[in-house]
Structure 1
Amino acid sequence: MTLTKIDTPEIAIDQVSMSYQTDTAKVLALKDITVDIQKGEFVSLLGPSGCGKTTLLRIMADLIQPTSGSVTVSGGTAKEARLARKYGIVFQSPVLYDWRKVKKNITLPLEMMGLSKEVQEKRATTLLDLVGLSKFKEKYPWQLSGGMQQRVAIARALAIEPEILLMDEPFSALDEFSRERLNEELLSIWSKVGNTVVFVTHSIPEAIFLSDRVFVLSPHPGRLSKIVEIDLPRPRREEMRNSPEFYQLISDIRNSFEGV
């Protein structure tokens, strides 16, 4: 996918820090994160558990407020972006409603927005086809595999036609084979939708395979250790995972962690 570089980034994170007060002490989760994300870009937030990846994603989504610093989205505030429904969010767990069939899970946010049945039906049909689940629209979530459930969650997040898709380790609970297959499917969806994606992961190969750039966060407190440009050609193919270039990127990222 070719990115169009523009003067104003889609997401601008400026000197963001985040601290929490526990019963015994003040904990610094993020420290002085500054980075820009361009429109239509696929970026990953990569780092070990506890480095603040999810915290940073939640700050971008205006779900929590940073202790200091700011986030600008399309030239406005993160709150304005949230209220304008610029975000679609996919969590680590699909969070589907077991009593609603697949299509009804996808149309839920559209129902809440008060959109017509006709619009709901049209978008659900389009998204079911996009994620390859048209034959399963009348199934319940508990009748699907974990990977299929996560595809339903992606379709539901895309139902409101967001400009930005925020994904918090959506494939971490899956086995390696399912995870790699869904990586390819996600890139196929992204190539058709064309929105900006911010993807949280602790898997170096996953971040490399998916991303245009990888933002490497240091162990606690989370700081930006390095930004790695992923210059592998698109579309990405499974055989790329075995290429010398792929292994070199893995090595470069491993060596970018502080203390290595």
Structure 2
Amino acid sequence: MMPEIQMDQVSMRYRANSNEVLALQQVSLTIGKGEFVSLLGPSGCGKTTLLRIMADLLEPTGGTVTVAGKTAKEARLAQKYGIVFQSPVLYDWRKVKANIAMPLELMGLKKAEREKKAMELLELVGLQAFKDKYPWQLSGGMQQRVAIARALAMEPEILLMDEPFSALDEFSRERLNEELLSIWSAVRNTVVFVTHSIPEAIFLSDRVFVLSPHPGRLSAVVEIDLPRPRTKEMRNSPEFFRLIGRIRDSFEGV
């Protein structure tokens, strides 16, 4: 598997009032092209900071980041990323189809091309019937599906997801985990998914990068050898519970 993202000895320090805080300490990892990986750890361990460094939204105070042979900044300018945030960032005054088409509009694509692509993405996320609804008329889970579709509009090589389902109830979250894998199996881009849920990380991922509590360090890399496609029955399998125990044991200082 060809490397897509490489981080070498990445550290992040920042000032809080008069104190210097070490958020990340010498994190090194490699993510393969087309791989689905999760960054897992407790609150405050630096998961989101690490994701933002990958996306060139933050500059690390130490170490290097390479994305498909480019710097993180070069990759961002080349529009290699799609980003889905914890809360869906949608425009309430634009209907669902128009929200999804917005990146294509900014690119200058003709209206017919934009609408065709938006409808393809709506079909991918199962929301064709809601194309003329406004975001406030949708459930939280449906809004996140719109946000995922919009992030995929530019056909990014890398999809970065920052705890996109954390605000949902457990039933909705598990259903959207299954839907996300269905979308990923059709697109097959590289996905980096931030979560603090061990079962969610196991269900979704090829590998799980476990970060230790503050300061964030790479505590373990756990291979998830469950077969694909993943099914909800796997959540109750002995192997699934074995992986939960293995990841729990890997946390440092817990």
TM bracket (short chain): over 0.9
| Aligned ranges 1:105-254 → 2 under 5 Å | 105-254=99-248
Q: CA deviation at 1:24?
A: 2.2
Does residue 47 of structure 2 align to residue 53 of structure 1? yes
Q: Distance in 1 between matches of 2:96 and 2:238?
A: 41
Structure 1 segment 49-128 matched on structure 2, within 5 A: 49-128=43-122
Deviation at 1:204, TM superposition (A): 0.1
Take 1:112 and 1:102, find their aligned partners in 2: how far apart are those partners? 16
The normalised TM-score by structure 1 is 0.97
Moved more, 161-170 or 19-28: 19-28
Matched residue type, 1:59: I
RMSD value, Cα: 0.6
**CA separation in 2, counterparts of 1:158 and 1:66?**
27
Structure 2 portions without partners, runs of 5+: none
Equivalent-residue separation in structure 2 for 1:221 and 1:237 (angstroms): 35
| Aligned length in residues | 254
Alignment partner of 1:32 out of 26, 41, 45: 26
Q: Which amino acid aligns with 1:181?
A: R
Runs of 4+ deviating beyond 3 Å: none
User: Residue 232 of structure 1: CA displacement?
Assistant: 0.1
Helix, strand or coil for the counterpart of 1:161?
Answer: coil
Say whether the 8 Å CA contact 2:213–2:253 is kept in structure 1. no
Q: Give the distance between the partners of 2:60 and 2:111, measured in 1 at CA.
A: 39
Q: Is the 8 A contact 2:212 2:253 kept in 1?
A: no
Amino acid at match of 2:26: D
- Counterpart CA distance in 2 for 1:249 and 1:24 is 42
Identity level (%): 80
Q: 1:259: which partner in 2? A: 253
Please give the secondary structure, in 1, of the residue aligned with 2:82: strand
* Aligned positions of 1:11-26 closer than 5 A: 11-26=5-20
Aligned AA (2:29): V
Q: Secondary structure at the match of 2:222?
A: strand
